[in-house]
Amino acid sequence: MITWGMVGNSHDASLAVFQTKVAGLTDQYKTKLLWASLSKDFSGVPNDPDFNQEQIDYAVKKFGVPSKVVWYERPLLKTARQLWAGQGWLYKENNIRQYLKRWDIKCKIEYTQHHESHAAYAYYTQPQDDCAVICLDSIGEFETLTIWHGKNNKLKKIHSQSYPHSLGLFYSAMTQRMGLVPQRDEYLVAQMAAKGDYRKLSKIMLQEILVAPHKVDAEIKMRENMHRGIMWWRPELQSEQDMNDIAAATQRIFELSLKHLSQWAKVETGSRHLALAGGGALNRQAVNMIKRKWKTVHVPQNPGDPGSCVGAVLAKTKQRLDLTGKWHS
């Protein structure tokens, strides 16, 4: 049986192809990843939100028509959050069955939760059974941060934080405040930070934008809804050096927040191993800062939403996976 894991209709669409067979005399099902791909690698469109026909045709021709699709998040929950956030009733836009018909995909569809897909991708693509997992991004359906304990090949969620409190949205909003494009240019912030002085603005940010994390819990609270942007903040800051200083303070706060979450996860799980997923795992400087506190730190290839095409299926199968050579290049 061929199963497709799919991410799309938002940003960074991706597709993973799995094959399920009965293994040996035990009649146990064994699921194998055959191929995974980013839509942008076929279309040439950065952060392409939709699937590419060439990508779909390649998967069908090489591996066969899917019997089932596993979608990386729950559209109804996402629609509810969008309505609550004042974005309107977007049920038609989030109708995945109708969306997939654009590529003549009409098979059975199953769904996982956004952060469940992230957690499964991080946990099941590394070899350690006892492993803490931190999933940090802008926003899933409602969740923006989750911490899990993986043990006995199962994932248990031990902390969850929901919209509008989002460290990922904070980073994206500050990216936009610097004149960059959110959800695309975040990688430039760390480069700009190297030219700035975090001491000039980090305390002001903590007073005006977000609350410093408390030592006893894993809450990262916002004073403002970062989903609405923060272009209004400190309009007097306009020079190139001002932008570098904003970048430095933003990066510093992100690093210290991840360090705090890492310490909390280590205490709560007792594990010596850590895995990370979500867009926050792409922040190499922050990840490098916490590595010395763990025996191993695992960040899988494409740890943001694109990796959830693999993670969505792993959330169902709970089977460990070696990613070597599986992503299309």
Number of structural domains found in the chain? 2
Q: Are residues 232 and 94 in the same domain?
A: no
In a domain, 122, yes or no: no
Q: Are residues 267 and 310 in the same domain?
A: no
Cβ pair 209, 154 in contact under 8 A: no
At residue 22 the predicted structure's pLDDT band, cuts being 50, 70 and 90, is low
Joined tokens for residue 244: 């570098």
In a domain, 329, yes or no: no
Q: Are residues 65 and 143 in the same domain?
A: no
Q: Where are the beta strands (DSSP E) in the chain?
A: 2-7, 14-23, 28-38, 68-71, 108-111, 131-136, 143-151, 154-162, 273-277, 296-298
Domain range for 270: 129-298
Closest CA to 119 of 312, 321, 329, 327: 312
In a domain, 62, yes or no: yes
In a domain, 123, yes or no: no
Q: Quick check: 268 pLDDT over 70?
A: yes
Q: Rounded mean pLDDT of the chain?
A: 94
The mean pLDDT value for 220-243 works out to 93
Q: Are residues 204 and 93 in the same domain?
A: no
The mean pLDDT value for 252-271 works out to 96
Q: How far is CA 126 from the centre of its chain?
A: 17
In a domain, 325, yes or no: no
Q: Are residues 35 and 86 in the same domain?
A: yes
Read off the CATH number of the domain in which 84 is found.
3.30.420
In a domain, 198, yes or no: yes
Lowest mean pLDDT among 99-103, 162-166, 219-223, 228-232: 219-223
Q: Quick check: 28 pLDDT over 70?
A: no
- pTM of the shown model: 0.94
Q: Are residues 165 and 186 in the same domain?
A: yes
Q: Are residues 60 and 203 in the same domain?
A: no
| pLDDT at res. 329 | 74
Q: Are residues 155 and 256 in the same domain?
A: yes
Q: Are residues 111 and 133 in the same domain?
A: no
Q: Are residues 250 and 310 in the same domain?
A: no
In a domain, 222, yes or no: yes
